[in-house]
Chain A
Amino acid sequence: MRTSFSKLFFLCSIIFFSSEALAHKPSDSYLNFQVEDKRLSGQWDISLRDLEFAVGLDADGDGQITWKEVKNKQVEIASYAFARLQIFSGEKTCSIQQQNLLIDNHSDGAYAVLTFISDCDIQQDLEVRYSLFFDFDTQHKGLVRVQNGGAITSGIFAAQENKISFSLVHQSFFKQFFNYVKEGIWHIWSGFDHVLFLLSLLLPAVFFIAGNAYKPVASFKPSLNHTLSIVTCFTVAHSITLSLAALQIVVLPSRLVESTIAFSVIFAAFNNLWPIVKSRVWLVAFLFGLIHGFGFASVLMDLGLKENNLISCLLGFNLGVEIGQFIIVLFVLPAIFFLRNTRFYQQFFFKLASLMICLVAFIWLAERALDLKIITLR
């Protein structure tokens, strides 16, 4: 049985293991629709490898597909592909007119790119039926994306799933942008840790330090300058890290981020009671601002980021955070400036508020660092 044995053994295990050495992924096509002003256009990327199987591209049989060979089969490619794609808007069947044939390189090889337009007046919904290659490759998938203004919906066609309906409730770029602005404002207001950090830095803005004691400032200008330097540094810092984290260039563990944010609040509040950093408070705002940016990013990620609207989401959310911040400053700064000379503010409110903030943040730190649940404020 030796010959049959070695053949048999080879068959199993060698191939078993080589299944992990995949050079390619299975066959996919990428179908992108764009709806603008109710007009439908699209782009369809189909692998040359698959078209070779379906239509036959390699005319001279040398195992290489040249641009000339693809161009010569342009009509066959288009008629083969578009015969396997149907688009409906409401009850109406939409016609498809091919425009251009281009080439694109994907991670697994070269693709023919067919661009097309449709005569349909797209109403509320779009139904797509897809049957490309399913007759000879059951693993083939069609990855479809519909870009409607700023919104993107995606779907996957498979042999058992060859019909997908897309609802096109219009959502414009600006609407989406403003949604994220709103989320940003809401987040800075509802995220107590950011507010308390900012507040801790703002409270002494109406003082200057003489020796080891706080003295109220005489005019509004130094307070404003102090506040501006802090807010600017905090903004620049968290904008940088918010972008880096949202684009997944830098990823930090959330427990570390949340714990450090809690620590930053303690530090800022504690600094009001026993000043350690006296002159360069903006540096504190900048350094801790970097870590707050990661905190903002985790919220933004929870809201969902999509590649096409990444920039509108990111800018909108960031702008929202700044607006929220600005409104806080707008209310707090004049109020404490007005109160700066009173004993109530100097001896009582300033110290008690800092102490309370310190305490709350300390509980957060314990919760976040040790994974406990002490208070349920947030």
Chain B
Amino acid sequence: MPFLYKENIGFLKRVFAPAIFTALQVFFVGAVVAAPFIPSNDEEVLERLPFKAQDPINQKIRALRLEIQKNPNDLKHVVLLARTYFQLAGSEGDPRYIGYAQSIIQPWRSLIHPPVDIVLVRGLLFQFSHDFESASSSFKDVLLRDPMNGEAISWLVDLNIVQANYSEAQKYNQLFLKASLNENKFIYDSMIAGIQGQSKIAYQQLFQFIQNAPSPNPELKEWVLIRLAEMAIRLNDPALAEKNFKEALVMDPQDAFGIAAYCDFLLDQRRMHEVVELTKNKKNSDILLLRLAQAAVMAKSDEASSLINALEDRFNAATLRGDRLHLMEESRFQLKLKNNPTKALELARLNWEKQREPKDARCFLEAALAAKKPKEAQAVLQWMRETNYEDPQFVSLHQALLKL
């Protein structure tokens, strides 16, 4: 721009100079990539492993690997190791263990008739990678050969609830009776009833159950308490919800899912400082980092932008390898933190094709509302009608959509 109209130069300087500076800054900062380095100190810790070499879990894995090396046809040890890895994937939140488990059962999977135990493990691994269809068919295979297999029944009920196929879930839930697992049926019944407009009765039943259970497994109790808290939210009783959340997190303070649910509850009440306290040391977990960033934005904290960048890096890294596992989280990220409702809605729609839990529904409604596209949310509104879903927050979202 070699020529500037004389009279305007003063104005141009005042207005454009900062704008151009910002544009240039954006240009170059955006293009800078972090460079590899040589650590300055030999003792610098570069990475922390989940376990020490002599931790019991590592010893167990080493022993199992040794057994399998000695005798590759030892099905029992193969299944045991694969399941150990599967549990680690859940408790450590690290999908690497899923890959390890898959490799361990690989030689058995290619058999024409793999053993039932292998098919079951295969289903677990498919499920972890959100390949629900393959997981379902694996569990159905198991039931064909072992109709009383409670674990396969559980998974089929779970998968169908997550995909909002409640009648199908009920169908599998009946199978628990044959397998003499009546309590399982009872819990799932309450859970389904809670989603289908009967939170009050479901709450009472489930509450009674957990009170009367002689000595329930603490993880199970924590899980049920979180479900109770969610039902209390639907019943518009925040005090009761809070009590259940708090009790649950005393039982298992490390449960990322429980913390995330509690954080969402707090965020709804704009209690962002409590969310920061709960999550500031748990940035490893993607879902908790998301809540922390939301709270930081709400609190107008200086840290907000660096948290948003960290989250974006993680989503980008996952996209680069072709993974799309956290569509709901990504949608929420785009909506609440990147202010991009169009993209958020697209992600919420993709997510709804796979997962249809209440939190997926809410994410979809919020994105449709922000994008001002009420028609797009028809599928969720239909789900709300069919289930008689009763959360007051959903009702107000629905009304806001109708007003558009």
Contacts and interface: CB of A to CB of B under 8 A. Distances in A.
Interface of A: 1-2, 4-28, 43, 45, 48-50, 52-53, 58, 61-68, 70-71, 102-110, 113, 135-141, 143, 156, 225-226, 228-229, 232-233, 235-236, 239-240, 243-244, 247, 249, 251, 253, 282, 310-311, 314
Interface string B286-308: 11100000000000000000000
Interface stretch (B195-203, B211-219, B240-248, B269-277): B211-219
27 contacts: A8-B151, A9-B183, A9-B184, A9-B220, A10-B219, A10-B220, A11-B151, A15-B86, A16-B127, A23-B92, A24-B93, A45-B36, A48-B47, A64-B45, A67-B41, A110-B47, A113-B36, A137-B96, A137-B99, A138-B102, A141-B322, A143-B320, A232-B4, A236-B12, A243-B23, A244-B26, A251-B342
A232 B5 contact: yes
Interface string B335-354: 00000101100000000000
A226 B91 CA distance: 69
The 8 closest A-B pairs by CB, nearest first: A61-B53, A139-B99, A229-B5, A137-B99, A21-B256, A23-B93, A15-B90, A102-B36
B287 A14 contact: no
Interface string B34-46: 1111110111111
B86 A13 contact: no
B98 interface: yes
B186 to A, nearest CB: 10
Nearest to B130: A19
A65 B48 CA distance: 6
A113 B318 CA distance: 20
B286 to A, nearest CB: 6
A103 B46 contact: yes
B255 interface: yes
B257 A25 contact: no
Given A8-B184, A23-B286, 5 more contacts: A24-B284, A25-B314, A65-B45, A143-B320, A240-B19
B54 interface: yes
A11 B86 CA distance: 10
Contacts of B213: 2, 6
Contacts of B92: 23
B99 A12 contact: no
A142 B23 CA distance: 35
A1 B181 contact: yes
Interface string B70-100: 0000000000000000110111111110111
B69 to A, nearest CB: 12
Nearest to A226: B5
Interface string B3-36: 1111010001000100110010011001100111
Contact of A247 (B26, B130, B284, B340): B26
B154 A14 contact: no
A68 to B, nearest CB: 4
B23 A24 contact: no
Nearest to B285: A23
Nearest to B3: A228
B37 A67 contact: no
B180 interface: yes
A37 B93 CA distance: 45
Interface of B: 1, 3-6, 8, 12, 16, 19-20, 23, 26-27, 30-31, 34-39, 41-55, 86-87, 89-96, 98-100, 102-103, 106, 127-130, 150-151, 154-155, 158, 162, 180-181, 183-184, 187, 213-214, 216-217, 219-220, 223, 255-257, 260, 284-288, 310, 313-314, 316-318, 320-323, 325-326, 329, 340, 342-343
A105 B34 contact: yes
B94 A103 contact: no
Given A58-B53, A136-B100, A228-B3, A48 B46 contact: yes
Contact of B46 (A17, A70, A240): A70
B351 to A, nearest CB: 11
A321 B340 CA distance: 28
B318 A64 contact: no
A141 B320 CA distance: 10
A14 B257 CA distance: 9
Nearest to B162: A16
B151 A12 contact: yes
A109 to B, nearest CB: 6
Contact of A19 (B90, B102, B310): B90
Nearest to A30: B320
Given A13-B154, A240-B23, A310-B31, A24 B96 contact: yes
Contacts of B342: 251, 253
User: Which one of A235, A236, A249 has the highest number of Cβ atoms from chain B below 10 Å of its Cβ?
Assistant: A236
A78 to B, nearest CB: 15
Contacts of A28: 317, 320-321
A64 B26 contact: no
B217 A7 contact: yes
B16 A236 contact: yes
A22 B93 contact: yes
A228 B155 CA distance: 70
B154 to A, nearest CB: 4
Contacts of A253: 342
Nearest to A28: B321
B155 A26 contact: no
Nearest to B49: A63
B88 to A, nearest CB: 10
Given A13-B154, A311-B27, A67 B44 contact: yes
A28 to B, nearest CB: 5
Contacts of B288: 21
B41 A22 contact: no
Contacts of A13: 154, 158, 223
Contact of B154 (A1, A12, A102, A247): A12
Given A7-B217, A8-B184, A236-B20, A23 B103 contact: no
A6 B223 contact: no
Given A6-B220, A136-B100, A137-B96, A14 B323 contact: no
Nearest to B58: A61
A66 B42 contact: yes
Contact of B260 (A9, A21, A106, A228): A21
B98 A139 contact: yes
B26 A26 contact: no
A136 B103 contact: yes
A68 B95 contact: no
A250 B127 CA distance: 37
B391 to A, nearest CB: 19
Nearest to B252: A14
A147 B144 CA distance: 52
A102 B35 CA distance: 10
Contacts of A103: 36-39, 46
Contacts of A16: 127, 155, 158, 162
Contact of A104 (B3, B36, B183): B36
Nearest to A71: B42
Given A15-B87, A21-B287, A137-B103, A8 B150 contact: yes
